[in-house]
Every structure is written in C-alpha cells, then in structure tokens.
Chain A
Amino acid sequence: MKPAHLMPNYHVVDSSIVIFFDRKGKLEDFLRQKKKENYNVIIPKAIAKEVVDEPKWFAEKMRETGPESANKILDSVERINSAIQQGLIQVETVNYRKYSKVIDNVRKHLSKLEAKPEYALKKGDPELIALVIQLYDKAKEKVFVATLDKGLLKALKPFSDKVEYEALKKL
C-alpha cells in the first residue's frame, strides 16, 4: 500500500449532495475543496444517471410547458456533467457479481422500511453502499460518505466499520 500522505481518500457522494451544491452554485467549489483535502470524489454509475440522464430527460419533457425551469435544469446537468468530464467527480462501476450479497441485503433492509417489494427499489441506494464496500476492500481504509439522506445513513449503519459519514446538513 502507498504511504498515506500520497494516497487520496475515497469520498463517495450521494446525488443529494451534488444537486444541493449545484442549486446553491457551489458544486465546483465543493469539489475543488475536496480535491485540495486529498479526496477522490466518487459516485457509482446509477448516481451519474440520476444527476445527468434523468434530469435531462425530465427537462426535455417539460421544455414546452415550462421552458424556464427546463433550461435551469439543463444548465445544472451541464455543470454536473462538466465536473465529471473534468475528473472532479469520478464515476465508478460496481462489481455486481462480487457484491451481490451486499446489494441484496441493502435491498431487503430498504424494502422493509417502506414495505415495498425489492424489485421496486431504485438502484442508487444499494449501488452507493456496494461501492463504499468495494472501495473499502480496495483501500482497506474507511470510506467517507456525504449525503443529506437520513434513511440512506440508516442503511449504512451495519457497515460502520467501513464507512465514515459526513453530516453536511441536517434535515
């Protein structure tokens, strides 16, 4: 393993953080600050879809009825996409085969929360948690996670030996 002072720490951010900072016009500042603090800001693919593809699709759909809002969303998508292109946010693929058990367990936990069938759950939550475990296995160091989502933090609790939370804001 590389010396600690050379190796960046992994910092997984949830979509809530990306959207929140972008809406405040502070996304790039937040990401550059994290880079300065020697963090690699990482998101799983499911989250990249959530902050780029989904809002883009939604904005295109509402272009005729609400062109102003649609343009605002498209601008936001462009900024987020640019942060990804610049490498300020790294998109990582989760190894589904290796972490299928983690994903299943998270899905089970979440389906109990709202009594929803497991198949009805979105990919983002289980994929984010699986990515945290995958990065922990790689670095053998605690992975930082930033989210505004208390429910997601609860789902991360069983993995508290592998993850450190960053409570940026309280709901």
Chain B
Amino acid sequence: MMIQAVLADDEVLARQKLRQLLREFPEIDVVGEGATAEETISLVRATKPDLLFLDVRMPDMDGFDVIGELSTAGAPTMPCIIFTTAYDRYALRAFEIHAVDYLLKPFTLERFRAATQRALDHIRSSKQNPEAAAPKGPNGTPYTTRIVFKSKGRILFLPVSEICWIGAEENYVRICTQSETHLLRETMTHLEEKLDPNTFLRVHRSSIVNLQYVKEVRPEVDGEYGVHLLNGQKIPMSRTYRSKIKNWLER
C-alpha cells in the first residue's frame, strides 16, 4: 500500500531535508510540495494525501489556518499531520487538533523516523479498522492514549503504550520509557485516572507499571513481592496492591 504525502514549508532547504529523510521510507510517495499556505491547501484538495508535513509559520497563513480551511471546506478525509516548526509554543494546539507529532527544528533522523513510523501505523490501522474506539473510563470519557509535555527542551507527544512504568517523586512523577525518563509535574492519582486500568496497574503508593512491560512478579527474600520488568528493572510492590495484580494474573 503506497502512502501519499505532501510537504509544506516556505523554506526550500527544509523541504529538501524532509524529502531526503523520507527516502528511508519507500512506501511513502511525496506527491507535492507547497511553499505557501494557499499552495498547500489546493495541493491537498487535489491530491488527497494520507500524510501532511506542515510548517506552522508560513508567509500567508499559519499551519493551523490551513487545517481550519481544509476541514471547513468539507474535505473527505483529513490527512495525518506532522508539524515541523522552530516554535515550541504551538504544541498544545497541535496536540488538540490530533496532530500525530510535533517536530521541533532542527530534528534528528531518529526523531523524524519515530514520528513518521507513528504516522504510518496510524494511517494503516485507521484504513484497516476505521471504527476502532479507545476504551472508555468510568465516566464515559475515553482513557488517554497520548500525553503531551515539554521535557529537556523538546515537545513530546508520548503514546502511553511507550511508558514502561511511572514513579512518584513528591509533587512530580517520573515517566520511564525504554530509553529515557521524564519528570512531570503531576500527581499519581490524577495520572492513574487518565490511564486505562487494563494496561496500567498501580502496584505501590508510588509506582504504576505498564503490564505490557512486565516480565514476572516474584517473591523477594524479605517476603515482599517485586515486579520485574522486561528490561531488568525491579519495582517493589506493596501488600495493599498485591490482590489487584493477583486478579489480573488469574484472568
């Protein structure tokens, strides 16, 4: 299945870089490049791409205007959007309109690869199963599937599936993925409410684990239990939460 993409950026070098990096993805076919918002809009209407790389600041309108224009004009399907910009202040807005990712210039090949891969997965899954809905929480709102935050000078649209475990540190929580940790100003309780309990389990007052990354639960020498993750990390479990994990194990 070929995926069609449009690149929108007012700088030719920026478009060139995108084109060059996209060579790694033979399944992506760049069907056009727009240097202005106007051009981009007509290009998207004409080619109906699956994926749009969009700069926020362009000479005539900004990237959000482009999206507004496209969605009001009764476009059949909105393309997946990856923002590429030098400004970090539009990240929340981008997140709210369900952009796939937000790349801060300059970005590395790895970062670009991850964003594009994410977009491809998204496009494929929505083509195969367009009516898939996120699991709903007790009050009817769906559980969060992504978290947006600033960490170490970057914007991250982190899919919760990439979180291995979460630890409490006073007024903060530390979110640990396979490769990195991020300190967020958040409470465990609030976070626990947002996360799907079928995947995320509170095992301790100060830790939540993603069950997808759990290798085993085994008793320790002191009679307590410990949760061992696939990457070898060990997280202590407290008595009060043990029955919960037992229930889950017995399912």
Partners in one complex: no
Taking beta carbons and an 8 Å cutoff, which residues of B are in contact with A?
none
Residues of A within 8 A of B (CB): none
